[in-house]
Amino acid sequence: MINELNDINIATVHNPAEIAAHTTLSAASKASILIEALPYIQKFAGKTMVIKYGGNAMISEELKNKVMQDIALMKCIGIRPVLVHGGGPDITDFLEKIGKTSTFVSGLRVTDAETVTIAQMVLGGKINAEIVSRLNSLGIPAIGLTGKDANLLKAHKKLAEIHEANGQTNHVDIGFVGEVTAVNTQLINDLLDNGYVPVISPIGAGKGETTYNINADYVAAEVAGALGAEKLLMLTNTKGIYTSLDDPKSFLSSIPQAEATIMIENGTIQGGMIPKVEAVLHALQCGTKRVSIIDGREPHALLLELFTNKGIGTEII
């Protein structure tokens, strides 16, 4: 359905009905698409949504374009999107070029003074600028920010947690890695109120001139919670949450917050999904109404999740 929209220049779309004119579907099919989307357009118009942009959706040129189109369409129909992006692979690539090896503890990058400078440069100077440029080219006014702009993301040092077999938890200092302590929501809302899409790099401002590299999942959760967002959409490299990783049929389209917590505790949710789900749960506790973990490898994943009856990801409510 949505895949038929690939060649649309979203900048020219001011009315959802115009989308149908660009597709090769029958007239009846075009109408049914719009009718299915209508209640969701009405429900979400004027609402703030935070999008965590990462994974393969940031690597493939085709997927990059489709994600930007999705965000542009969301903006054109009245949604207030806020984009938080990652960029770990790009940071790793740059470090390798200068002969620096990346080390991780509990999924967090060990970040010395040189590495945090490089992370700030790659995230803000390369990735953020590219996203802003792509949105602007679609006619959507976007503004790039790091957490240091107007103290958008205040932060302090985060210690990595290592869980031992005996049940003890050790805390390890891994350098300039931070966690958010406060979000300047006035800055974000001012930009949204004036028609801009904020694009946020996960760099935090510590005391003095200290800079912290922060996990983008946690930044998105903190921003969504602080804004009281209608929805947080987490683009990942998996379809969502399964009750059994070995059984594709065990996929969960919706799950209560309490059940997700139990699945972490009993080991059903494992590996890289743990920090993502923990971030999601934190966002809900801080005021986000709903969160969806969706597969960023799926073309137009955002539109399919928001504007179709079935959706495509796991919604945690």
pLDDT digit string (tens) for 73-129? 999 999 999 999 999 889 999 999 999 988 888 778 899 999 999 999 999 999 999
Show the domain range for 266: 48-316
Give the per-residue pLDDT at 107.
76
Kindly report the length of the chain: 317
Give the per-residue pLDDT at 307.
92
Check whether 240 is labelled as a binding-site residue: no
Query: Is 272 domain-assigned?
Result: yes
- Alpha carbon distance 184, 147 (integer Å): 9
Check whether 195 is labelled as a binding-site residue: no
Calculate mean pLDDT across residues 47-63.
Answer: 88
Query: Is 15 domain-assigned?
Result: no
At residue 29 the predicted structure's pLDDT band, cuts being 50, 70 and 90, is confident
Query: Is 263 domain-assigned?
Result: yes
> What are the tens digits of pLDDT across the range 208-249?
889 999 999 999 999 999 999 999 999 988 888 888 877 888
Q: Can you spell out the DSSP letters for 64-106? A: HHHHHHHHHHHHHTT-EEEEEE--HHHHHHHHHHTT----EET
Give the per-residue pLDDT at 18.
52
Query: Is 87 domain-assigned?
Result: yes
Query: Is 5 domain-assigned?
Result: no
The mean pLDDT of the chain is 87
8 Å CB contact between 82 and 88: no
User: Edge-to-edge strands of the sheet including 142-146?
Assistant: 142-146, 197-201, 80-85, 48-53, 231-236, 290-295, 314-316, 254-255
Give the per-residue pLDDT at 5.
45
* Cβ within 8 Å of residue 115, ≥6 positions away: 91, 95, 100, 109, 175, 176, 213
Q: Count Cβ atoms below 10 Å from residue 106 Cβ, excluding itself.
A: 13
User: CATH number for the domain including 289?
Assistant: 3.40.1160.10
In the chain, the number of structural domains is 1
Give the per-residue pLDDT at 20.
46
Check whether 228 is labelled as a binding-site residue: no
pTM listed for this prediction:
0.85
Check whether 213 is labelled as a binding-site residue: yes
Query: Is 12 domain-assigned?
Result: no
Tokens (6 digits) for 170: 């050790």
Q: Count Cβ atoms below 10 Å from residue 97 Cβ, excluding itself.
A: 9
Query: Is 191 domain-assigned?
Result: yes
pLDDT over threshold 80, residue 159: yes
The more confidently predicted of residues 89 and 17 is 89
Give the per-residue pLDDT at 4.
44
Query: Is 144 domain-assigned?
Result: yes
Q: Which residue shows structure tokens 């709903």?
A: 290
Give the Å distances, CA to CA, from 128 to 77, 124, 203, 260. Answer: 24, 5, 11, 32
- Alpha carbon distance 143, 229 (integer Å): 19
